[in-house]
A = this chain, B = another copy of it.
Amino acid sequence: MPKSLDVCLTPALIPLYNVEEYIVVVIDIFRATSSICYGIENGAEAIIPVAEVEECAAYREKGLKYLLAAERNGEVVTGFDFGNSPFSYTTEKVGGKTVVLTTTNGTHALHLSRSAKKVVIGSFLNLTALCNWLKTQQENILLVCAGWKNNFNLEDTLFAGAVTEQLKDAGFTLDDPAIAANDLYQIGKNDISQYLSKTSHGERLRKLGIEKDIAFCLQVDLTTAIPILNGERLMKL
């Protein structure tokens, strides 16, 4: 029986899937999963996603090897080491360290996906490495878009479409959201940045002055590490 390649367009729809039957790929392009891929590539020992800022702050007492990253509504929370900018996840900053990360949307999607067979992290940065690994797994795959406040966004969906593009000839059955994501990718793929510039979220992020982050997150195949959830920790596969 052919395996399924399904796309969950927002975390609010995760309950519609039996996640335990899937390998889940969590996607939060601007910027959590891009930064996670970059941080693990650059030697972070682990990245621990947590849901609440308070949970993140509690790690302060556990010692200096933890870096605390907290962001709400696109901005670094006062008193934390950094937020979601991928430029904070360089070898110099995160090499050998454990980063405790809380974000608005990505962590939410991760927590809801915990019962999956495996949970891995996807972004344009590790696109091809991720897809090559997924092809070897012989499992149903669910691409979970973190979205924005539980609703659909274009950047995460477009990335789901990019994954679908690499996997669609590998014998998977696509659900309607996967077909839609792939079709949207066909429209946007020649200039993803231009395509996304018309979206609400791009506009919001531009106002926050993080155009450089956006450009960074849209680089394809900059990294090869695949972060995988191991208990509470995201580590290099």
Q: Which residues of B contact A154 (CB under 8 A)?
A: 176, 179-180
Q: Closest B-chain residue to A153, C-beta based?
A: B176
With A10-B13, A13-B151 in contact, is A199–B179 under 8 Å at CB? yes
- Chain A 123-158, CB within 8 Å of chain B: the 1/0 string? 000000000000000000000000011111110010
Q: Which residues of B contact A148 (CB under 8 A)?
A: 176
Q: Separation in Å of the A176 CB from the closest CB of chain B?
A: 5
A183 interface hit (Cβ, 8 Å):
yes
With A10-B13, A12-B12 in contact, is A180–B179 under 8 Å at CB? no
- What is the total number of copies of this protein in its complex? 2
Q: Closest B-chain residue to A17, C-beta based?
A: B151
- Chain A 74-111, CB within 8 Å of chain B: the 1/0 string? 00000000000000000000000000000000000000
Q: Can you offer 18 A-B residue contacts whose CB atoms are under 8 A? A: A9-B9, A10-B13, A12-B13, A12-B16, A13-B13, A13-B150, A13-B151, A13-B152, A16-B151, A151-B175, A152-B176, A152-B177, A152-B180, A153-B176, A179-B198, A180-B184, A183-B187, A187-B187
Within 8 A of B (CB), among A199-237: 199-201
Q: When the two chains form their complex, are residues B199 and A176 in contact, meaning their CB atoms are under 8 A apart?
A: yes
CB contact between A187 and one of B152, B176, B186 (< 8 Å): that residue: B186
Q: Which residues of B contact A16 (CB under 8 A)?
A: 12, 149-151
